[in-house]
Amino acid sequence: MEAKSYQEVNEEILRTLGRPRMRFVITVSLLALGTLIGAACWAYQIAHGLGIAGYVHPVYWIIYLTNFVFWIGIGHSGTLISAVLYLFRAKWRTGISRSAEAMTIFCVFIAALFPLIHLGRSWIFYWLIPYPNQRTLWINFQSPLIFDVFAVSTYFTVSLLFWYIGLIPDLAVIRDRAKGIPRKIYGLFSLGWVGNHRQWHHYGTAYLILAGLATPLVLSVHSVVSWDFALIIVPGYHDTIFAPYFVDGAIHSGLAMVLILLIPLRKIYKFEKFITINDLESMAKAMIVTGLFIGYCYGMELFMAWYSGNRFEKDMILIRLLGQYRISYYLAVICNIAAPLFLFSKRVRTNTRALFAIAVSVTIGMWLERYFIVLGPIAQDYDPYNWGSYFPQPVEILITFGSFSFFFFLFLLFAKFLPSVSIAESKEDLEPPLRLRQKER
Amino acid sequence: MATSRRSFRPVWIVIFCLLIAIGAVVFLYGILAGNTSRTWHAYLVNYLFWFSLAYGIVLYGAVMNMTTADWARPIKRLTEAFGPFLPLSLPMLWLLYIGREEIFIWIREPAPEKSFWLNMSFLFIRNSVGLILLSGVSLALIYSSVRGDSKISPPSEDDLKKEKIDETIQRRQDSPAWRAQVLLSPLLAVLYGVVLSSVGIDLVMSLDPHWYSTLFGAYYFLNSFYIGLAALAILSAVSLNTLGLKALVKPYYFHDLGKILFGFCMLSGYFFYAQFIVIWYGNLPEETHYLIERFRYSPWENLAYVILIITFLFPIFILLFRRIKLNPLLLSVVSVIILIGYWLERFILVAPTYWKGEGLPIGIPEVGIAAGFFGMLALSVTLFLRRFPILPISDPLFLKYLKREYDKKLEAERKKFGFV
Amino acid sequence: MAIQQGLVGVFIYLDDVLRAIGKLNGGGIPIKNVYSPMKSPEIIEAMEAKPSGIRPVSLIAGILGGCSGLALATYAHLRWNLITSGKPILPWIPWVVIFFEMLILISVLCTVAALLIKGRIPRIHYGKGGYRPTFSGDRFGIEVYGGSSELEKAWAIMKESGAEEIDEI
């Protein structure tokens, strides 16, 4: 944190809320177009059924679930940075927590769309909600899909509230500097915050409690998503290691996505004072740890498949290494495990281009990992007569593309209309203005 | 100001030697009197518990280096004090070779498809190599930490004034001793994960050769780290008066340690649950028989609930309270209970594989051998702390900690006289 | 000079604010609000604020929320007795997840509600009274109400402590 005064903090951060330049408008329009393409494909799919999405017996969980796990996973890193690091009082959190938390909300929102897309008949999603209904049906509370409903909706609500509570003082700052209609809108959302001592006191306690409550969600939500697979007795799904494996993979891919978002943001908005190279380096170091644990999990799966002596487990691993999805496996190993090893060198860690490249590689690798984990075991399970072959279809690819466009679209809108660095927390990090210091100078 | 010259009194050395003697006597008596199965398994349970505790706490020192955490710097030497105990893991592993027929079922009834992995020579070679590497790297880390300290004198209050201190910290960060620690800490962490997984799989999971769980290795090394933290809490509380660290170890240190303990309690419970729910839900006989034996059959069922309460439910609840975390004595009591719980947890993993009788086999062999191991551990800690400087004065993060505390003191004084 | 209802003093420096708070409290003049652009533990300590009552709310709401999740699950499974894969009708093991998620959800909702209630937000007429827009920028403020003699004393104290400007409300 190298800004000097509160006024400077305000001005630097609020500078980004100014009039959008042409390149911003063009980028946002292109991303909106991408989103519309994805939405159009979804509409096409609703009209024509899941068959055009490549669903074929027995492969019924494909790219939409890959995307679901992928997007939820990315969201976890945001909560890790904003909630877990807050509890650890880590200094490097301040510049990045607002953007990270916003990233989480958008990721979880997009992730929540995918089960709907995957349903085919998306309009019947309300069958998953436990309420007394005319059909006199209740949901099966021991199903992992229901755990998902509870976990994802809790995660979305908690992330949204945590982000919003953090935003309230900053919205008050904007309200006090805006005029006209923007003033009314920001005023509405800042809820009449004035920043008196009572409000700050309760705010501090509430924020700490919210951080403490959001922290276990980092573990639990992605574990619940992993149990969607691990509780199924198909070799390749039924592994006890899935829960920590997925959580760690989530943090790994999430850190990569935070780097992908922040490195350009920092450059374009000239936020080097708030998001220092040390912050980026700390994230890179965390990525080494998560990458190594993923390597451990890959190794353990291979070993245990052999050790189990179970014919089907061994075959599953052989199919993974030599079968139709082997390219995605090898690519995932290279992108997830080998690429982050370069981060052991300080020169790589402090070079933003290298960091960006490694982050992109990890993102691709993690998507591919979800791909071969979700598809492989069900495509070829116990009985060879039941095996099926699946190839990605244009509809799915375009919807995936649409989801990425939608994510960056939402994030750019956030960066333009809301402060992407937390103003109140940046001010807390500075030394308060003291007459004593003035005299000393 | 930043020195500490007190140490453990010599009477403790005598007491610990006595405990070791008791352990050895109980062990030998058990072997010679023919109660071999129970004695060897008691030895195994204690081996697993005490060495994983020691490796866990040394890992915590490495973790502190990697996260550049300066709040716990004064107790850095306490985490390294378990160093001399670590190399003993090798001869004590080889001792298990004598009792191999009693412990490893797959010697008498080999599992042919696993015989590549589960055969005596390979098992002992890979675990020995792993433990040599792990204890070697741990000792190298401890050596670089201690070597730096014996060459430098402690800083005075003048040194802590603003301008010179940043230079000094920079100099210490460039010193070879610190650079060695920065290099060795992540290496230790990686080795710890791999070696302790191997130990867990080979010495615990293989006792029931037809059972497997991919999470078992990670579960084992995470629990070891957790019990290492609990041991650190106890040792920190003891060292406040015995080693004169009261001036440097502030109450918020125990608060933070309590919070970390709470976090790892949740993590350990989570890892346990992750294994449990997958196996319970899948209901596959090849996986469930292991759990059913430990959670549904007597006499293990009641023990399992006791373990659940004292290792998970009790710490989770009690560590929510600030007053408990701030009080070193109460925190140590909670830690002792957690350690007992995890000893019982190792016990329940191992014991049902050999004990088919009535009642729980917890008696003189188990407690006596536990006393022996505890004596060895405590003796190594005591001798280490008597020999080497208690404070890590060459550590740049320790200097940062001292500077931070000094600045806080100045700030507090200014507030009293300058503000109002 | 008679002063009507209240005063708000605008300060640049934090130590001035703390000094003024100390003197106002010592003089028995009740301070209504102290505004700051960020959370200041020093101000909160000087105002001798009681520990925020949000913590017990979160804990109790969480436990009740978790139990309500379990209650819902129990009710649903008793009403619609579907035995799936040989598991018991009321299986507590998977319901640990339901308990946990509901605990977090209800606890968070109640914490936010408690914050809104205790912070007395949302508020439409936040500007009435001593609030000045600079307080969200880089200025601190002290808002005092009372009788005319008290306010005269307060005016003097704030001026002496180094207030940048003092306005009547």
**Cross-chain residue pair A300–B214, CB shorter than 8 Å:** yes
- Interhelix angle for A144-177 vs C92-119, to 10°? 10
From first CA to last CA, the distance across chain B in angstroms is 30
**Cross-chain residue pair C15–B281, CB shorter than 8 Å:** no
**Cross-chain residue pair B270–A223, CB shorter than 8 Å:** yes
Residue B242: what pLDDT?
80
Residue C97: what pLDDT?
94
pLDDT-flagged residues of chain A (< 50)? 1
Neighbours of B, requiring at least 3 CB pairs below 8 Å, are A, C
Residue B140: what pLDDT?
94
Query: Which chain A residues are Cβ-neighbours of C83 within 8 angstroms?
Result: none
Q: What is the DSSP letter of C32?
A: E
Residue B1: what pLDDT?
41
Query: Which chain B residues are Cβ-neighbours of C23 within 8 angstroms?
Result: 420
pLDDT digits (tens, 9 = 90+) for A233-255: 999 999 999 999 999 999 999 99
Q: Which helix (H) or strand (E) holds B132?
A: helix B120-150
Amino acid present at A159 = S
pTM of the prediction? 0.92
Query: Which chain C residues are Cβ-neighbours of B320 within 8 angstroms?
Result: 59
Residue B324: what pLDDT?
87
Amino acid present at B8 = F
Residue B279: what pLDDT?
95
CA distance B58 to B81: 8
* Strand-pair partners of C11: C140
**Helix, strand, coil in percent for chain A, rounding step 5:** 75, 0, 20
Given B214, B277, B283, which is nearest A301 (Cβ)?
B214
Given C72, C114, C123, which is nearest A130 (Cβ)?
C72
Residue B420: what pLDDT?
40
CA distance B26 to B35: 11
pLDDT digits (tens, 9 = 90+) for C60-107: 999 999 999 999 999 999 988 888 888 899 999 999 999 999 999 999
**Cross-chain residue pair C93–B283, CB shorter than 8 Å:** no
Mean confidence (pLDDT) of chain C: 89
**Preferred mutation among C87, C106, C115, C124 to probe A, highest tally of A CBs within 10 A:** C115
From first CA to last CA, the distance across chain A in angstroms is 21
- Interhelix angle for A63-79 vs A352-379, to 10°? 140
CA distance A250 to B128: 35
* Strand-pair partners of C8: C143, C167
Q: How wide is the angle at C-alpha A333 spanned by C-alphas A328 and A339, nearest 5°?
A: 120
Q: Please enumerate in sequence order all residues whose Cβ is within 8 A of that of C12, keeping only pairs 6 or more positions apart, or say none.
A: A433, A435, C138, C139, C140, C162, C164
Per the CB < 8 A criterion, the answer to whether B265 and B226 are in contact is: yes
Query: Which chain B residues are Cβ-neighbours of C15 within 8 angstroms?
Result: 418-419
Secondary structure (3-state) at A441: coil
CA neighbor of B180 nearest in space, from B138, B140, B149: B140
Q: Which helix (H) or strand (E) holds B169?
A: helix B162-174
Q: Please enumerate in sequence order all residues whose Cβ is within 8 A of that of A199, keeping only pairs 6 or more positions apart, or say none.
A: A193, C119, C120, C121
CA distance A369 to A235: 16
CA distance B343 to A228: 33
Q: Please enumerate in sequence order all residues whose Cβ is within 8 A of that of C151, keeping only pairs 6 or more positions apart, or say none.
A: C3, C6, C7, C144
What is the pLDDT tens value at each position of chain B, 420 positions in all? Answer: 444 556 777 888 899 999 999 999 999 999 898 888 899 999 999 999 999 999 999 999 999 988 887 788 888 888 999 999 999 999 999 999 888 888 898 888 888 888 889 988 999 999 999 999 999 999 999 998 888 777 776 666 666 666 677 777 787 788 888 889 989 999 999 999 999 999 999 999 999 999 999 999 999 999 999 999 999 999 999 888 787 777 778 888 899 899 999 999 999 999 999 999 999 999 999 899 999 999 988 889 999 999 999 999 999 999 988 888 888 999 999 999 999 999 999 999 999 988 888 888 888 899 999 999 999 999 999 988 888 877 887 788 888 888 888 778 777 776 665 544
